[in-house]
Amino acid sequence: MKICFDPKEWFVEAAFPGIRRCKRDIFGLKKEIFKGKSKFQDIHIFESPGFGKMLSLDGIIQFSQSDEFIYHEMIVHPLLISHKNPKRFLVVGGGDGGVLREASKHPLDELYMVDIDQEVVKLSRKYLPFVSRGSFKDKRLNLLFADGKNFIKENKDFFDAIVVDSTDPVGPGKALFELNFYKSVYEALRKDGVAVFQLGPFLDFDLIIKGIAGKLKKLFEFVSPLRLPMPSYSSGCEYCFLLAAKTTDPAEINIKEITRRARQRLDEKLSALKYYSPEIHHASLIMPRIWQL
Ligand code: SAM
Query: Do 10-64 and 68-291 agree at the fold level?
Result: no
Q: For the segment 42-60, what is each residue's pLDDT rounded down to a tens digit?
A: 999 999 998 999 999 999 9
Percent of the chain residues past pLDDT 70, beyond the cut? 96
**Interatomic CA distance for residues 41 and 93, integer angstroms:** 13
Alpha carbon separation from 97 to 81, 103, 174, 255, 276 (Å, rounded): 20, 10, 21, 29, 18
Centre of ligand 1 to C-alpha 69, Å, is 17
- pLDDT beyond 80 at 16: no
CATH 1.20.140.10 at 10-64, yes or no: no
CA 18 remoteness from chain centre: 22
Q: Any catalytic annotation for residue 67?
A: no
Centre of ligand 1 to C-alpha 96, Å, is 9
Q: For the segment 75-97, what is each residue's pLDDT rounded down to a tens digit?
A: 999 999 999 999 999 999 999 99
The CATH architecture one would assign to domain 68-291 is 3-Layer(aba) Sandwich (3.40)
Q: Where are the domains of the chain?
A: 10-64, 68-291
Q: What is the pTM of this model?
A: 0.96
Which residues does ligand 1 sit against, CB inside 6 Å? 62-63, 71, 92-96, 114-117, 120, 147-149, 165-167, 172-173, 175-176, 198
DSSP 119-160: HHHHHHHHH-HHHHTTGGG-TTEEEEES-HHHHGGG--S-EE
**Interatomic CA distance for residues 16 and 158, integer angstroms:** 34
**Interatomic CA distance for residues 290 and 37, integer angstroms:** 40
